[in-house]
Structure formats: C-alpha cells, structure tokens
Amino acid sequence: MKNIKEQKAGLQIQENLKKYAAPSTSDTPDISGLSGNLYTLAVQAYIYAFPWLYLTELQWLWTSEAGKAIQEQGGGQAIYAPINSFWHAPELASSGTATGGSPNTDTLYSLAWCDLSEEPLVLSVPEVNDRYYCIELSGIDSDTFGYVGVRATGTAAGNYLLAGPNWHGSVARYNEGKATADQILDVLPRPFYNSILLMGRTGITTGTQADIEAANIIQQQYTLTTLSDWVNGTSNSVPPKAQFPFDLTYSNTEGAWFTINRAMTLCPPGVYPSIPQDQLIQLFAQIGIGPNQDLRTQSPENLEILQRAATDGLEILKKASGSLGTIVNGWSYPPIYMGRSGQMGNYLARGAFQALAGITANWTEEAVYLNTIVDSEGQNLSGSENYTIEFTEDSFPPFESSNHGFWSITMYNNNYQLVPDSVAYTVNSNALEYRARNSEGGMTILIQQDEPTDMPEGTYWLQSPTANESNDYNDGFFMILRDYMPTPSVASTQTWIPPSVTKTT
C-alpha cells in the first residue's frame, strides 16, 4: 500500500495542476492518450523536482570562479566561496546590489554550500549575545533540517558537527582531553542529503555603520573545517566541485530535465531520515525523470512534450508562489510547516514558496514571512496607485524581545528582486531611522512612487516601482512582512491580524 503522505501528495499535485495550469490554447500539442499521461506526469515531476534544478544552478554560480564572473557581468553583488567555506556579505542587501530570491534587508547574509559525501564538517560560531543571529541548515531540496543560533543553540560559542545521512561515526574520541570550548558538539539533526546550504543571518541592532561593522566581525567567526583537518590541526582539504547545470537560469526550461536527473542521482530524495518517497520516484521513473534516469532514450516527440510540461510547470510555480497559505487582511500567512514543506508532502509549497520565491524558508518558530500582492479591496498592487499601512500602538507584529526579535516590511518587484534604483524599499523596527512613533504610539507607512513631503513623525515611505520593460518587470509589486522570533500568535496560532494595505486617493 502506498505511503499515506505520498497518496495525499499525489492527489494534491493533481488538484494544483487543475487550479494553477494555464488554459489550453490552439497551439497546444495533442496530449491525449499516452502523450497526455506523459505530459501530466511530467508537470507533476517538474513541480516536485524544481528545487534540485534551481539550487543546483545556484550552487554552481556561488561556488565556481566562472559563476562568480557571470554574476559580476550582471552587475549585481557576486556571491562566491568554494564549497565547504563561507561567503560573508559585507553590507545589507540593497536595491543596487541584491539579485533575486526576495532577499531580506534586515540581516547580513553568510552563505556556504557544503558537501558531506566524503567526511563531516565542523561549523564554528562565536559568542553572540547582543543581537539576533541564526544559521539555517537546508538541503538541496530547499527543506530546512535544523539551526544554529540564538533560539536553537543559544548565545555561547560552539563547534557543531555537520555529518551526512550515511555517517555513523562518533566524535567522543576526538573530544578526549579537549577543553570544553574546543569540543565538537554532535547535537544537530542529520540532513537528508550530502549537499546542504548554510544560510546565516546576522541581525542589525541600530543600522548604523558601526553596528554593521560589529556584525561583520561576528560573521568572520563563522567558519567551516573538515573533520580530518580539525583533528589534525591542518588545512589540507581540497574543496570539491559543484555539478555544472545544463543552464544557469531556471527561467530557461530547456535542458532542465537533464540537470534534475543528474542532481537527483547525486542527491536522491527519500533517503532516511527523510520521509519515504519511493512511490513517487517510481512513478516519475516511468517517464524517465529522477535518480539514475537517462532522457537520451526518449523519442523526439516525448522530449517535446517534456519540454512543454517543464514550461507549464514553471508557470504553475510562479502563480502559486504568492497564493499559498491563510489570507488575513490581504496578507498571506505561510503554512505552519513552511521550511519543511517537502517533509510534509506539500511539494507545491516547497517548489513555489520555498525554492522559487526564497531559495529556502525558515521554520515559523524562527521567523514568519507574510506576503501580500493585493490591497484591501483585493486588487493587485500597482505603482500607479498610492497606498497606506496604519499600525496602532497595539497592532505591531509581536516578537520575543529576549531573543532579539524584530520585524520589517520590504518591497519587491514581480521578479522577486528589491525594486531597482529604489531609495526607500524597507522599514525595519530595529533601525534607528524607523523607531519614531506618532503621538498615539502608532506608525504610518506611505506607499507611492514619489517621495511624500512634510511627513509627520512616525510616518515612513516605501517607494513603489514604475514600469520598465528593459528590466523585464512592470509596476506590479509585492511586500513581505517579516517577524523574527515571533510569538505563538504569529508562529503557530496565526491569530495576530496584520493591517491591510489601503488605497488612497
């Protein structure tokens, strides 16, 4: 009998296909009979496998010299560090430096792709007791499997073992005779794959240059060491190379299946301690998709259908990325299992909300990201309109201050980028420039293209985009309200009510 979660996942994908797929057009190929089965299964397979495509592309771009050069040609901030080492962002993401993935502008990123196939790594962090920080541990499928940080492991310095799913050794013998501060802590969950992404976030406290420099010092103390180098006191390990993807952007679906098949062969889904996924893997293998599959045996007709399915599957993910979760006042609460959607059998949420819209996603107990693409009347947000968000003294996003929590609202264009050339794209409760409140203790946020004049105390501006065909986006936009260290009313019960985005005349 099929695993119950797999049965539900298969039915859910079928329903999502009906809900989000674009209607057929006159030039749609005939997909009746066998070809229809191939097309339907292939669309489901693309939604299921999308993280292996997107994150494989990012891994190569971020860990190879050639990938670095390509990023620099695009004019954005290049993210580059060999596998098993960190890249640290020296400054907050901004409209002039950040690329896609809906980056936050609240914390300094520290990113590392790790390969655990040969041996474990040791992740070292310093004492951090004056600000929020976390290092999110995610797999190639974009699901998060654990954390190091204020909430998860506390504020003390530590050395944490990162071992692959097939490593069954013990660190006890390595710790013999070592001082407590030098010992390796084997307390983190085992990942589902040997290829993992560490996404570190080091918070700001005031937003001043001195504060950012203090955060930079903390970042530089996040380090990775192979277990053999740690034991021997050496630095001899040669970093492995990333898989070269067929294409470097998910928006071009040509060749996507070849990247997916190879990535799934190197990092097969459903390996313990992951939930079993044998039935889905066997189902997609019937059309040549998945671990150890070879598309070179497919006919040209089948390859054409697979290509159409990949194109339509991507459109489904794009449409779904802003419409999952519970809607409150136009804001979408993420499902409470966000960050581990694949382990809950929700592969649409994993592909659309986690991977496509954000690369990975935090667990809700760490941070909750509410998003909105509509105003209080249900109309899509547009730069041609003006809007207002009103917070009263008692309606601000609630967070755990003892864990250095805070909140922010950030604006993005429809390509999941900070609005290019914007000078006012975020409001952050920690930054000094956004701490003033009005006479009643509340806050007003004005959303419009032109800077308002004579803004009273406690009033702030978010600059909405203008249409710009050369940059492949229009004046549509969406916003993310991030609540770091949220209270249960946001993280679990979702009873906190965010203020609506109201159109003004």
Per-residue pLDDT of 217-236, as tens digits, reads: 999 999 999 999 999 989 98
Q: Please say if the pLDDT value at position 150 is more than 70.
A: yes
Domain boundaries, the chain: 4-60+249-313, 65-232, 364-504
More reliable by pLDDT, 410 or 2: 410
Neighbours of 426 (CB within 10 A): 24
Q: Can you tell me the mean pLDDT for 313-329?
A: 86
32-46, 50-64, 115-129, 283-297: least confidently modelled range: 32-46
pLDDT over threshold 90, residue 74: no
Q: What is the mean pLDDT of residues 165-182?
A: 89
pLDDT above 90 for 96: no
What are the CA-CA distances from residue 288 to residues 12, 144, 225, 442 (Å)?
22, 28, 38, 57
Q: How many CA atoms lie within 13 A of 169 on its CB side?
A: 16
pLDDT confidence of residue 503: 96
- Cα–Cα nearest to 128, from 227, 225, 220, 230: 220
Strand, coil or helix: 287? coil
Confidence of residue 184 (pLDDT cuts 50, 70, 90): very high
125, two tokens: 């962090």
Res. 35 pLDDT band, cuts 50 70 90? low
Structure tokens at 367: 């941070």
Tokens at residue 20, please?
């989000």
Task: Name the superfamily (CATH) of residues 65-232.
Answer: Domain of unknown function DUF1254 (2.60.40.1610)
**DSSP-derived secondary structure for 207-218:** --HHHHHHHHHH
Looking at domain 364-504, which of 2.40.50.100, 3.20.20.140, 2.60.120.600, 2.40.37.20 is its CATH number? 2.60.120.600
* Interior/surface letters 210-224, b for 16+ CB within 10 angstroms, e for the rest: ebbebbeebbeebeb
CA pair distance 431, 200, nearest whole angstrom: 20
- Give the pLDDT band of residue 7 (cuts 50, 70, 90): very low
Q: Is pLDDT above 80 for 465?
A: yes
Mean of the pLDDT values across residues 476-482? 95
> How far is Cα 189 from Cα 187, in angstroms, rounded to an integer?
7
Radius of gyration from C-alpha coordinates of the chain = 23
Task: Give the H or E element holding residue 302.
Answer: helix 300-320
Mean pLDDT of 350-368: 94
For the whole model, what pTM was predicted?
0.88
**pLDDT-derived band of residue 417, with 50, 70 and 90 as boundaries?**
confident
State the chain's mean pLDDT as an integer: 89
- Write phi, then psi, for 135 (nearest 5 degrees): -120, 110
Place of tokens 């089965």: 37
| pLDDT confidence of residue 2 | 33
Spatial CB neighbours of 14, under 8 Å, sequence gap ≥ 6: 44
116 pLDDT higher than 70: yes
| 265-312 confidence digits (pLDDT tens) | 999 999 888 999 999 999 999 999 999 999 988 899 999 999 999 999
Q: By the 8 A CB rule, do 140 and 55 touch?
A: yes
